[in-house]
Chain A
Amino acid sequence: AQKVTQAQTEISVVEKEDVTLDCVYETRDTTYYLFWYKQPPSGELVFLIRRNSFDEQNEISGRYSWNFQKSTSSFNFTITASQVVDSAVYFCALSPYNTDKLIFGTGTRLQVFP
């Protein structure tokens, strides 16, 4: 079975705190893609990152960083020095190789308070 689990339903932090959003996935495929999307209150889904299963290098983009560990089937997302504009629902998703499907987790709602 293919599945994405985001165990954290909601996280609240104060501005400038660091926060990590957890994502655990299940797949029997050896080749697959992992994604993070952001959904602000306006509703659109914003693409943040794609990672393929053969690339376990961590990635940093500004205040955002991602930690991919195949050994634990996790693809966690850290926001450093959070800001109020980071408040959104964040979705982790899995796409098995050679399919077009995105399997989404249930999302984590992040609230950043000033």
Chain B
Amino acid sequence: SAVISQKPSRDICQRGTSLTIQCQVDSQVTMMFWYRQQPGQSLTLIATANQGSEATYESGFVIDKFPISRPNLTFSTLTVSNMSPEDSSIYLCSVDRNEETQYFGPGTRLLVL
């Protein structure tokens, strides 16, 4: 497995602002992923972030709204831009250490007022 931390663990934000979520892993990993879990819903993949290349976004998610950085093999950030109440969700990062299994961070609970 892997030890994954996320910051912040939770936040309350005003609409129109942006929040950057950090994901830190205890070892180098090639593949990192960002998911969104809307209240009472399942997880939806936002994008895949590989170091040294642009993030690959899933249908329905765009870079302008969810810019992602992957500066090295242990760290990634997801920004939720120009937030609206519909962005209130849990945001989770996950990693795959070439084991064909994704391990998840503790999540960031976001509430947008």
Contact = CB atoms under 8 A, between A and B. Distances in A.
Interface residues of B, number: 22
A37 to B, nearest CB: 8
A102 B45 contact: yes
24 contacts: A35-B101, A37-B104, A43-B107, A43-B109, A44-B105, A44-B106, A45-B43, A45-B94, A45-B104, A45-B107, A47-B101, A50-B100, A50-B101, A91-B42, A91-B43, A100-B31, A100-B33, A100-B96, A102-B43, A102-B102, A104-B42, A104-B43, A105-B42, A107-B42
Interface of B: 1, 31, 33, 41-45, 48, 90, 92, 94, 96, 100-107, 109
A42 interface: yes
Contact of A43 (B33, B90, B101): B90
Given A95-B100, A100-B33, A44 B45 contact: no
A28 interface: no
Nearest to A6: B42
A47 B33 CA distance: 15
Contacts of A42: 106
Given A105-B42, A106-B41, A45 B100 contact: no
A104 B38 CA distance: 13
Contacts of A104: 42-44
